[in-house]
Homo-oligomer: A and B are copies of this chain.
């Protein structure tokens, strides 16, 4: 089962390369951090704040690609944790089809942040984290 979560914290430290976001379940207290890169956390932060720039940055471009190809992002799921790496899928509705795109959580959440798309974490990811 997938558990709906929210992006509870965005921790940007410009002195290091690795940045941290925290996902927390909506109907409970379980939360965990994911380490991501600087460009991705800046994209998440900017898109969450709805700051539009004169030119599309990379995740804005993905949004345009999906929209102009007739799709809509319906949800993002952090669906696995293998060897300390989180995996995610971006779910796109295109006509009658649901397409699942394999993604790093950072890119998937950057997409979701701009589109206000719901975020989920698979129950087995919480299990693996011992939560």
Contact = CB atoms under 8 A, between A and B. Distances in A.
A101 B55 contact: no
- Residues of A contacting B: mostly: mixed
Nearest to A106: B58
Interface string A64-94: 1110111100000000000001010010101
A64 B101 contact: yes
A65 B64 contact: no
Interface residues of A, number: 28
Nearest to A40: B58
Give this chain's copy count: 2
Nearest to A69: B69
A46 interface: no
Contacts of A69: 65-66, 69-71, 92, 94, 99
A79 to B, nearest CB: 13
A69 B66 CA distance: 8
Given A61-B62, A61-B107, A71-B69, A55 B85 contact: yes
